[in-house]
Amino acid sequence: MSVDADFPSVLSPRLSKAKLWAIVPAAGVGARMGSDLPKQYLTMQGKTVIEHTLDRLLTLPTLEKVIVAIGKHDGIWQTLLSASSHRVLSTIGGRDRADSVLAGLNALKTLASDDDWVMVHDAARPCVRLPCLEKLIQKVVEHDCGGILAVPASDTLKQSSADNIVSCTIDRQEIWQAQTPQMFKVGQLREALAAALEGGYPVTDEASAIERAGLPVMLVEGRRDNIKITHPEDLPLAEFLLGQQCND
C-alpha cells in the first residue's frame, strides 16, 4: 500500500513536538479461536497475523516505534523478521489485554513524553487500512482529543434475558462498535488505565478507562473490514479481505 505522499505531517505545527507511538497487545492465547497456536501467529498469505498487522502500522512514516506486548512464555515472536525491525520493541504483557497495554505504556516511560500520542492496536486486527489510520490521527490531532476507530451498529441489537430469550430490542441509533486503533495522550492513558485496573473496573478497551477518568473519546468512523480475528471463521474472512485490499 503506498503512503499518501500528500498526507500532511501527522502533527500540526501546534503539536509539532509531540511524537506518535504504537502499542500492539499480542500476549493473548486465542482461546475462542481454539487453535494450537495463539491466533496472532496463525498464517495468512505466507505471513503471520501479527506481521500483517505490524506491516500496516509501520506504513505510517511518522510512527516512531511500536511496542509489542508478548506473552511471558512466547517462543515465536523472536523468530519473526518483525522482531528485528529497528522500529519495533517488545515487552512482556499481562494476564488481561488491559494489563498488556499498561505494560506497553510502562515500557514507553523511557522513550515517550506524557504529551506524546500513542495508538493501541490489536495484533488480531490485520486488515486495518492506511486511510483509516491517517483519518484517526488527523482527527485526534486536529481536535487535540483522544479517539477510536469505530463503526455504527448495522444489525438490530437484542438484549438477552435468561435462556437466551430476547428481553428487549436496543435502539441502535446511537450504538457504535469500537475497534482499534484507539489513540490517546501517553500520560493520560497510562494514568487512566492504571486507575481503572487498581479499582478493579472492567476494561475491555482503552477508551473505557479514559471515559471512566471523565475524559472525552471521539468516535472516528472506520471500515467494517477492520475485523478482529476472534473465532475460527474470522481467519479465512481476514485472508479474503487482505487479498481484496491488495487489489485496491
Ligand X SMILES: C[C@](O)(CO)[C@H](O)COP(=O)(O)O
Ligand Y SMILES: Nc1ccn([C@@H]2O[C@H](COP(=O)(O)OP(=O)(O)OP(=O)(O)O)[C@@H](O)[C@H]2O)c(=O)n1
Q: How far is the CB of 27 from ligand Y (least distance, A)?
A: 4
Longest dimension (CA), the chain: 56
Q: What is residue 135's three-state secondary structure? A: helix
Interaction partner, residue 51 (ligand X, ligand Y, none; CB < 5-8 Å by kind): none
102: contact with ligand Y by CB under 6 A = no
Contact between 234 and ligand X per CB under 6 A: no
Chain positions 89 to 108 lying near ligand X, rule: CB under 6 A, are 97
Out of 65, 97, 129, 190, the residue judged to bind ligand Y by CB under 6 A: 97
Contact residue for ligand X among 47, 139, 212, 228 (CB under 6 A): 228
> Contacts with ligand X in 169-198 (CB under 6 A)?
178-180
Helical residues (DSSP H) of 19-161, grouped into ranges: 49-57, 97-107, 130-143
Which residue from 67, 110, 99, 94 is spatially nearest to 198, judged by alpha carbons? 99
Closer to ligand X by Cβ: residue 82 or 226: 226
**90 contacts 67 by C-beta, under 8 angstroms:** yes
CB of 175 to ligand Y, least distance (A): 20
# residues contacting ligand X (CB under 6 A): 9
Adjacent-strand bridge partners of 140: none
The pairing of beta strand 63-70 with beta strand 88-92: parallel
Q: Which does 208 bind (CB under 5 to 8 A by kind): ligand X, ligand Y, none?
A: none
Q: How far apart are CA 205 and CA 148, in angstroms?
A: 10
Q: How many CA atoms lie within 13 A of 9 on its CB side?
A: 9
The residue whose Cβ lies closest to ligand X is 205
Query: Contact 237/227 with Cβ under 8 angstroms?
Result: yes
By the rule CB under 6 A, 52 interacts with ligand X? no
Q: Give the binding site for ligand Y (CB under 6 A).
A: 25-32, 40, 69, 93-97, 100, 122-124, 228, 230
Residues found near ligand X in the complex (CB under 6 A): 97, 122, 178-180, 204-205, 228, 230
